Copies of this chain bind each other. A is one copy, B any other.
Amino acid sequence: MPPEEFLVHGRHILEWISEYLGSDGRYPVLAQVRPGEVRASLAPSPPWEGEAFEQILRDFEEQVVPGLTHWNHPGFLAYFANTASSPAILGDLLATAVNANAMIWKTSPAATEVEGVTADWLRQLLGLPGDFAGFINDTASHNTLYALAAARARAFPEAGEDGLHSLPAGRIYASEHVHSSIDKAVVTLGLGRRGVRHLPADGSYRMKPKALRAAIEEDLAAGVRPVAVVAVAGTTSIASIDPLPEIADICREHGIWMHVDAAYAGVAGIVRELRPLLAGWERADSIVLNAHKWLFTPMDCALLYCRRPEALADAFSLVPPYLRTREADEARDLMNYGVALGRSFRALKLWFVLRYFGGRGLAERLREHCRLARRFAGWVQSSDRWQLMASTLLGLVVFRYRDPGLGPDRTDLANERILDAVNASGEVFLSHTVLEGRYVLRLSVGNLRTRHEHVERAWRRLELEAARLG
């Protein structure tokens, strides 16, 4: 593509993005297409002759955009809301253009070192100790796999050479509210679905330390080897936080790897008054935390903090430990700390975000999101028709429509209908979860551009649809 053309099309795209980012209301948040509709609109076969870029862009707008669920919309209040912020979009554009690959230090020293520095800057903002080494990978799921692989390497040093087949069973402990990526990682690592023990939680959806201790002792007595305890800081359903100090005590006592899944809530450590919620995580062996969730950075940007990077190398370096030379921190070959060999320059967009907003700018925005969530929770609490289903610690509100005249099953159905109708409006998008067998609604404030009006809009819509039920 000649440079003039690149500039013309690029400018057009920038204008499209600028309008897109400001276009509150132009697009329904949740895509309103049927399965197969997008596919059917596309040619069944690729073109043999190249096409004009204008045509490709037109098709993007007409065929692709209507089929998108708009994660970057301020009315996106589902799952854990996230953002592609402007500085991050521009930083990522540069990363894509230079196409750096930080597989080994030499193949892009700056990509390797900026990754180290950026992860360390964030560590400082979070108040984590300096002995955590930070790595940036694509997803929390892969980071969890890497961390638990390191834990497995420590629990079963012989497995790296010989495999697991002649060893005792291994176990990972987590509460029943742990994210499915833990189970996936454990199955991938060859420990099987039974390799995870899901412990019943307390009334606040937190792991019970007593139950953890009992499970470990029972397993030890039965010859099952503990591999890791996964504590969650911000469960997927309700953002509850496991009792981290007690879990850390048990892990230390038994010499078990402590992993903290802080994919959502970890960034709250930037906000001084929220940091106490995370107390105890600084004693973990590994922590997973997503910048592409609540830190205004587009996918993919997931951090893995590990205070035993040599255990990651034990898990993934193909050179046996006794032959390995310790790399200087500066010239670390990052491919040796995970599965992926190719490593794109994901740190750059986060470096842009940390600099553009600054620690204060990030903290203020996170604080404001929590304030909006509390305000919404207040509306819920002050209404007879609704009830809060969990406390609102951060930016997530878990609630449920109630009608004493309906039994629990019909109340489930009513909530499902309300949610479907609210989402079909296209104005906002909320999600649901199941708590103690009951269908409950979730409103997650986390998009940079979500303001009071969006949360209010969600509330009005919910009220309207609830009224229609009656």
Which positions in A face B, CB cutoff 8 Å? Answer: 1, 3, 5-7, 9-11, 13-22, 30-31, 33, 35-39, 42, 45-51, 53, 55-56, 60, 63-72, 79, 82-94, 96-101, 105-111, 113-114, 116-117, 121-122, 124-125, 138-142, 145, 149, 152, 159-170, 180-181, 183-185, 187-195, 290, 292, 298-300, 302, 315-316, 318, 328, 330-331, 339-342, 344, 348, 352, 354-361
Please state if B360 and A50 are interface contacts (CB–CB under 8 Å). Answer: yes
Among B7, B70, B98, B163, the residue within 8 A (CB) of A194 is: B163
The CA of A93 and the CA of B278, in the complex, are separated in Å by 35
Can you list 6 pairs linking A and B with CB atoms under 8 Å apart? A36-B331, A42-B113, A70-B98, A141-B342, A162-B194, A163-B194
Pairwise interchain contact B64-A341, C-beta atoms closer than 8 A: no
Closest chain B CB from A52 CB (angstroms): 9
Copies of this chain per assembly: 2
Asked whether, in the complex, the Cβ of A318 is within 8 Å of the Cβ of B183, the reply is yes
CB contacts (< 8 Å) of A64 on chain B: these are 110, 114, 348
User: Which residues of B have CB within 8 Å of A1?
Assistant: 85-87, 356
Task: Determine the chain B residues whose CB is within 8 A of the CB of A35 once the complex forms.
Answer: 105, 109, 328, 330-331
- Report the bound CA distance from A7 to B193 in whole Å: 50
User: Across the two chains, which residue of chain B brings its CB closest to A347?
Assistant: B64
CB of A18 within 8 A of CB of B6, answer yes
Cβ contacts under 8 Å, A149 to chain B:
188
Q: Taking the nearest CB of chain B, how far is it from the CB of A83, in angstroms?
A: 7
Shortest distance between the CB of A416 and any CB in chain B (Å): 14
Bound together, the chains give a CA A357 to CA B65 distance in angstroms of 22
Report B-chain residues with C-beta under 8 Å of the C-beta of A328.
Answer: 35-36
| B71/A17 in contact, CB under 8 A | no
